[in-house]
Structure 1
Amino acid sequence: MTLLVSLPGENQAMTWILFLLLPTLCLQAGNSAESNRGNTFGVNQLARLSGVQGESIEIPFSFYFPWELAKDPQMWILWRWKHFHGEFIYNSSSGFIHEHFKDRLILNWTQPQTSGVLRILGLKKKDQTVYICRVRLKTTKGIEMVQSIDGTRIIITRAVRTTTKSPSIVTSAVTTAGLEDTEGQRNPSFVNIGATIGVVVATAVLITPVCVMLIFLWWKTRPAD
């Protein structure tokens, strides 16, 4: 955006001087604002995350502060749930874990890092709420604390189940398919037996009349007593 100023006579020279000094004034104002931001403190968290029931989720966090840490600096990470003044569920200094989250909370953070991740394992439906990070610092002025205001809201969704056929049904289907495939085909062993029986029967049919004829001729030609 451009600012147009129209002044009569020698005032125009003063206008140009102010115009040339404007970037410098803006820069100084920006440095002042940056200095004010440097005196603030707080905890950064994502507003919302989604997780699947039975699986795990990670809640990232980071914090900033203006104080000078003590010669033996110490940091403690604490977590609340449900609201700003909610019950504590985790304390890195004592190793405390809320009974509801027993063996399900892991803090991936190492002092003196100013960022980390809280992991919740085996998500349950009751885990759907707000999680708020709080940090305690040992500084040259004593113990200072910073905490997120809104925290991170966790939304839990149900796992999608895939339908599969039971082994008995699959086995039955395979067996039926095998019978259908062989329905139009005879077992080779049965075919061989049938062929053998057919040959025997045919042979018997051919030989029987010959035998009868030979017996009849023999009876005719035998000497009379």
Structure 2
Amino acid sequence: SWLPVLLPEELELVLLPPLHLGGQTASRRYSIDQPKHLSAPMGGSVHINFSFYYCWELAKNSRVSVALRRTQFHGEFIYNSTWPSFHKDYKNRISLNLPKGQKSGSLQISNLRKEDENIYFCRVQVETREDGKKVWQARQGTKLTITHAAMMTTEGPTSTAPTTTGLGVSEGNGSSASSPLSVGAAVGVALAGAVLIIAILGLILYHRWRRSKGKWFWATPPAEHHSALKNADPCWA
């Protein structure tokens, strides 16, 4: 029967007690946690945050080693801070951020590609003072989804560009932004003034018409008064 060839680190994980495989038991002697899902755009970068816990006393000058696997729990190593080494698919694209003495950090994958869409498992290794080397790994990895950068870059500016342009004009060039309002206000004032002038002229003409009508009316005496004057004075025409 065919048996797969395991690296020393993988063989060690297989032979470890069940507690080391998950690190999540009632004793809580050690554990490691990482997010279940992450998404990032193609060409961008992603931070796989992790935190771990252990109760052992570390050996003198001991360093915490962090490794990253992909696809499955016993998948291939793509990064190991002990060597350090990189998988050819991730060369110069993975970096570890773990301050000395801290128990939380992140693994960054930059310049993301569509092929990077996978499941990633963080593994921690320490050298203890009395129990030797201890290695444990998260049971459930982080599923990374790569989104299309083209969709994000084309949809974003189309919705935000008009707003940005509008703000740029109003803030950067006050005269150009305020001139349409000044013209509109001037037109409104001019129209209102014209209407007022027309109304005043109309009132003046109306009063003049009434006055002229009154003078014409009283210049011609009533019919009864006209006949009386004619009878009294034959010269009255």
Q: State whether structure 2 residue 123 is matched by structure 1 residue 157.
A: no
Distance 2:92 2:61 in 1: 31
1:137 to 126, 132, 138: 126
**Which residue of structure 2 aligns with residue 22 of structure 1?**
none
Displacement of 1:118: 0.7
1:44 to 28, 33, 36: 33
Task: Give the aligned residue type for 1:78.
Answer: A
Displacement of 1:59: 0.6
Displacement of 1:38: 5.4
**Which residue of structure 2 aligns with residue 147 of structure 1?**
137
Report matched runs for 1:56-95 at 5 Å: 56-95=45-84
1:127 to 113, 116, 124: 116
TM-score by length of 1: 0.54
Report matched runs for 1:1-225 at 5 Å: 37=26, 39-140=28-129, 141-159=131-149, 160=151, 161-162=153-154
Higher helix share: 2
Runs (4+) off by over 3 Å? 36-39
Percent of aligned pairs sharing the same letter: 40
Task: Give the aligned residue type for 2:61.
Answer: D
Distance 2:138 2:124 in 1: 9
What root-mean-square deviation, in Å, do the aligned CA atoms of Structure 1 and Structure 2 show?
A: 1.8
Counterpart contact for 1:90–1:97, Cα < 8 Å: yes
Displacement of 1:44: 0.5
Q: Which runs of 5+ in 1 are unaligned?
A: 1-35, 165-225
Distance 1:39 1:82 in 2: 26
CA distance change for structure 1 residues 58 and 39 in 2, over 3 Å: closer, same or farther? Answer: closer
Distance 2:100 2:123 in 1: 15
Task: Give the aligned residue type for 2:135.
Answer: M
Counterpart contact for 1:49–1:152, Cα < 8 Å: yes
Distance 1:86 1:111 in 2: 28
TM-score by length of 2: 0.51
